[in-house]
Structures are given as C-alpha cells and as structure tokens.
Amino acid sequence: MSATSTLHEWQTETLAAAGPNAQIQGDEIAFQPVQPTRRVGNRTQISRKEAIVSATQNVVNAAGRQREIVHQLLKKSKELKRDMEFVLTGNQTPVMGSGALAQQLRPLCGWYETNASRGTGGTSGTATGEAGDGETRPLTEALLKPVLQRVWTAGGEPSVVMVGPYNKTVVSGFTGNATRFDSSEDKKLVATIDVYESDFGALRVVPNRFQRERDCHVLSADLWGIAYLRRPETVALAKTGDHEKAMIVTEYTLEARNEAGSGIVADLEAA
C-alpha cells in the first residue's frame, strides 16, 4: 500500500453489538445516529544503507562475482530489510522529527491497547510514547489463552502467534491443543509446535529473530500493513573521488487497521 504524506492517516470503526433484530410490519423507521469513524495515523520513517567501493575493487576479478558495487548493494538490500523488521516489530518512541531529529514510526509494540497482558508495571504505548516494560514472567498457556479469547471477542481472527527464538521453544513445550507435523517419509516426529489449535481457531507459531524476546504477538494478519511513502530504491551518489557510491533508501510506516483485532503477552522471560 502507499502513503501520501509523512503523517499517514486512515479511518477505523467498530460494528454495533449483535442483538435481537425483529421488526413490526409496516412500522416507521427510527434512525440511529451514525457513529463517527476514528481517525488514526503513524509517522513515516526513513531507513537506508550506503555502499562505497573503490574503482579498483570494481574492475578486479572477484572470484566469480559481478562488479563489487552490485554485490555490496545486494548485501545492503538484505540488511535494510532486516533493519525494517527490527523497527516494525520492536518498541520505540514515535517521533515527529525535525531538521535535527529523525522521524520515527509507531511500531507494533506501541499499538496494543485493548488486548494486552503485561507484567507488573508494564504500560501500553501511545502516539507519542513507547510501551513501558514491566516485571518479566515466563510464557505459559495460562497467559496466552485469555489474550486469544479477548482478541476473538473483540472481532479479530487471530492467525499468527509470533515469538522470539527462546519463547518459540517454550511454546513447543505447551501440552494443550498443539499440532506437531509428522513426516511420514522418514518416520520422524518434528518436536516443535508449528500450529497451535486454540479454542478460537488454528494459529501458526512463527519465530522471529528480530523482535524482542519479551513479547508474544497474537496477530490478525489482515489488520496490519506496511505503507510506503517511498518504496526501496537504489540511488547513485555523486563521485567525489576514485570510487563509486550508492545508497538504498525507503520511507515507510506501519498501518494498524484495528489494534483491537490483535493482542500481546508482554514482559516475558528471555531465558
């Protein structure tokens, strides 16, 4: 999706509660006031990676590689994607930005308000402040299940549980409704939980090496997206010597279409 301004804005709204709906024949309609939508937004953030290669490095035989600047830019592109995932799944203070201060987006951890389980002292993030860390505790099914229930009750369709590498091993030790895939070809049981069968549907359990270990995200994937003001592009920079310079740059933000459709179990032990 695309952003059109450094402050990317969108509308969210909620459905009326379900209830008995029976009408009298031929009655006159009494209209209910239209509920206004809620306007929310997120600042875009610029991320980039730079490469500089001497003219000599560009022409020497590099053991089967193309020009060195091409190789370096491919490497920098991968590094940029890793940085973006680190930012989007992390916890940082949203910043408006100025001539002397880089603008920062509101990341995943900063959006949860409705369905957040936090340790003692933990606080939710805001449009101007990061989420406050609380006292850590181990990840258990007893912590995860209530968040799943609250997400589903709020109208979400949770499909992903995203955790750090350590807590992926913790989830694999859960004894509740979990699916371990059996490879019939080599008769080996994979001793990890790939799908968690909750009372509210099956969720993929995904490890993320870039997010904080202390967070367990319960996501309705269709309610999140990346909006680009500038998609990643390679820009050649002016020569100032016997070398070639270039950068890969992008400007993007996180769109939270309805934070109530997801949740978090925060403040988890990391080991």
Give the model's confidence band at 59: pLDDT under 50 very low, under 70 low, under 90 confident, else very high.
Answer: confident
187: pLDDT confidence band, cut at 50, 70 and 90?
A: very low
Residues 37 and 226: beta-carbon distance below 8 Å: no
* CA angle, 158 then 159 then 160, to 5°: 105
Mean pLDDT within 57-73: 80
| Sign of the torsion formed by the C-alpha atoms of 37, 200, 217 and 137 | positive
In the predicted structure, residue 244 carries a pLDDT above the cut 50: yes
User: What DSSP string describes 213-230?
Assistant: TT-EEEE-GGGEEEEEEE
Looking at 36-184, list the stretches that DSSP marks H as alpha helix, in order from N- to C-terminal side: 55-59, 68-88, 141-153, 165-171
DSSP character at residue 104: B
Question: Quick check: 189 pLDDT over 90?
Answer: no
pLDDT (mean) for 211-227: 96
Per the CB < 8 A criterion, the answer to whether 133 and 122 are in contact is yes
The pLDDT assigned to 266 comes to: 98
Please give the average per-residue pLDDT across 25-42, as a whole number: 85
Q: What is the pLDDT of residue 129?
A: 95
User: Which residues does residue 101 pair with via DSSP β-bridges, in sequence order?
Assistant: 98
First to last CA, the chain: 37
Higher pLDDT, 79 or 184: 79
Looking at residue 63, its pLDDT comes to 66
Cα→Cα distances 251→8, 9, 47, 114, 242, Å: 11, 15, 6, 29, 30
H or E stretch covering 8: strand 7-12
Spell out the SS3 assignment of 149-210: HHHHHCCCCCCEEEECHHHHHHHCCCCCCEECCEECCCCEECCCCCEEEECCEEEEEEECCC
- Which of the four pLDDT bands, split at 50, 70 and 90, describes residue 27? confident
Q: Which two tokens stand for residue 104?
A: 């920062």
Beta bridge partners of 45: 252
d(CA 111, CA 108): 6
pLDDT reading at 184 higher than 90: no
Lowest mean pLDDT among 12-16, 42-46, 240-244: 12-16
State pLDDT tens for residues 121-177: 999 999 999 999 999 999 999 999 999 999 999 999 999 999 999 999 999 888 765
Length of the chain in residues, anyone?
271
Q: What count of other Cβ atoms lies within 10 Å of the Cβ of residue 207?
A: 16
pLDDT tier at 29 (50, 70, 90 boundaries)? confident
Encode 108-117: b = buried (16+ Cβ within 10 Å), e = exposed: bbbbbebbbb
Confidence band, pLDDT 50/70/90 cuts, at residue 246: very high
pLDDT higher than threshold 80 for residue 13: no
16-25, 44-53, 83-92, 254-263: segment of lowest average pLDDT:
16-25
Separation CA 6–CA 42 (nearest Å): 8
